Structure 1
Amino acid sequence: MRLLVAGATGQLGAGLLETMGEAGCTMIPLLRVPEPGRRTAGRLRPPDPALVGEPVRGDVRVHRWGLDEAAVRRLADEADAVVNLAGQTNWAGRGSDIYATHVLGAEHGYLLARELTALSGRRIPYLYAGSVYAAGGAVGAVAEQPYPRRADRTVYEQAKLLAERRLTALAGEDSPLLILRLCALVGNSATGRTLRRNSLYMLADRWDDLPGGVLPAMPAARVDALPRDVAARTLLRAVRRLAGLPGTEALICHLGLGETAPSVRGLLDAAFTADPERFRRAPRVVSASARQIVWTSQNAHRFLPLTPTAHNALIGLRYVGLDRVFDRSRLAALLGGGLPEAGLGLLAGLLFGPPRRPDAVAAGGSMARFPG
């Protein structure tokens, strides 16, 4: 199976490159045209160059993803599916940039898949990598259904929601559509390699920098995260199943641990038990209400002079501090069973263990930067 992939240089893209060979797949990467003053817009380092076909250059923010007529006709012959992993992951970034990448990128990708379907005479499915965090400040059980309106979404979350709505309005029987809402992603489950130490890694790397050494969270808050290779294997299984789906409606699934996600307290306890010397003090979670966490993460920048890193970190509190379970029943039905798994010990080891390679550590960062 040959997949046209936008966002191939991100964390999940790295996971795809690590797992495509065993799945019998090949990637045709859409690489962004370098912006003025930048030598490159992203590099691919596949473990096996045979996994990557001839790249195409484009931009998800424009019509046809910026591809010319010749490129589109080539892809009509070569591509079996279109996968959109592209994302603007700076939660505190400009709203126009976030909107263009997520909303316009989602729409342009689906219209491209429909054009490839018409040219090739084959049903070319489209998979869009959404985000479970488009749920905003919702707590409790979160269903694999269109999210309702809420007033507590961040700009990033609102853009992800608008992308979903735009796609469901466009869905038709010519190109099957799957919105795969992603949880947080961490490094490879076997090697520990990660694209950069951001996201949940900041909970580990900067634990001792937290004021008072405490983390505000609901009493039963969960951390829903998957190693990138585990997520990639599940995504590839989903793409294979997607092409044969009947019907005209968009399918929405949650890609995460769901009801098996560990609690934030359990994760910290496991890390402290495995390596107590890593912490200057024992990890301590202070109970807070959902309203307190959501309001602070959404509004603190209006009253405090926050750096972009600090602003992102505050937004990230809601992604580890809320008590909610993302349902996976539709994902189970799509896959025919075999839901993704990641044990508490594995997640604690990946997050709180030392970097396996010095070049795995990126300078700066924040608790932000979950997958786009």
Structure 2
Amino acid sequence: MKPNHLQHRDWRERLDQRIAPRPAPLDAGMRRGRGALTNETGRFERVTRETFDDSWDIPEEVAPLRTEVTHERPRTIITRNASPDLGFDRSVNPYRGCEHGCFYCFARPSHAYQGLSAGLDFETRLFAKPDAPALLERELAARGYSPRTIAIGTNTDPYQPIEKRMKITRGILEVLARTRHPVGIVTKSGLVTRDLDILGPMAEQGLVKVAISLTTLDPRLSRKMEPRAAAPGVRLETIRRLRAEGIPVSVLVAPVVPAINDHEIERLLDAAYEAGAREAGYVMLRLPHEVKALARDWLAEHFPQRAQHVMSLVQDMQGGKDYDSRWGVRQSGTGPIAWAIGRRFEIAANRLGFNAERVRLRTDLFCKPARSAPGQLALF
């Protein structure tokens, strides 16, 4: 049993979470085209800052927040994980933060490690890793490296808008293509088709597969949920183009938000299969750390009559909490509602013929890059 002072602290924390007022949304003009409504101080910061109107300024039109990009110089680029409920053990993320602005993004809390907010900071203050291709080549050349599929897009989208000019993801793919290393890509952007000249030949060698995230077929709902991501029609056309080039494509219905988009599961799978996807998966809404409050703000703004009901359904699937982080539970939930959604997805996917065969990428073609520095002759 916990000491009395710890019990008291836990009780106070739970009480604070229930009665603490939420900060008012920032000016609508300032956050135009963004997903989050607030920009609360990061959870690791000792000082809390809040924007408020002191009535001294003359009312005027507020300029929308602009995207700022900072170059990051990490020492390594391959991230390892041992999570038993993930289908990969290594990943590469070219960017921190994501301009798509999806209110539900489970990666938002990672911005707190930069001393920034999981709210608007996450989608307006981005970090790019221009050295990623060179770092990747160096790590692939390391002694003892054994190839397994590298996942790209597991944290933030590798084809978010700044990729158009920075081309870091393309540079990473060039390294992987040159070394014949398998890669799996997750994106909700049509920009992935820009790299068909790389992905096509890799697909012929069994080295690549792409998953397109599809949340809704309603463009208006998509704009609310993912304000700067590609429209649903663009994502379906992306599936068609990838399929036409012989690239294995899967669809990821994610996230499933009860009472918001769960009624579309069957139609989403129908549309994706018709477009050419042959594997399918889904993920329930995940609300770790700050995403809990961001989701409540979003629901109150866009679906005020439904907000309380949606959160009640979420909690029903998470053991009475907003989020259950246990492996094997965090992505699918538990309880009768989660079970029903899972069975609906399974029945619809089986009816269409999804997942009849799983594409397994090859690792036997891997060609380790030389360890010598550019311009330096290898000794052996």
The two structures have a TM-score, normalised by structure 2, of 0.31
Select the structure that is richer in helix: 1
Give the greater-gyration-radius structure (CA): 2
Q: What TM-score does the superposition give when structure 1 sets the normalisation length?
A: 0.32
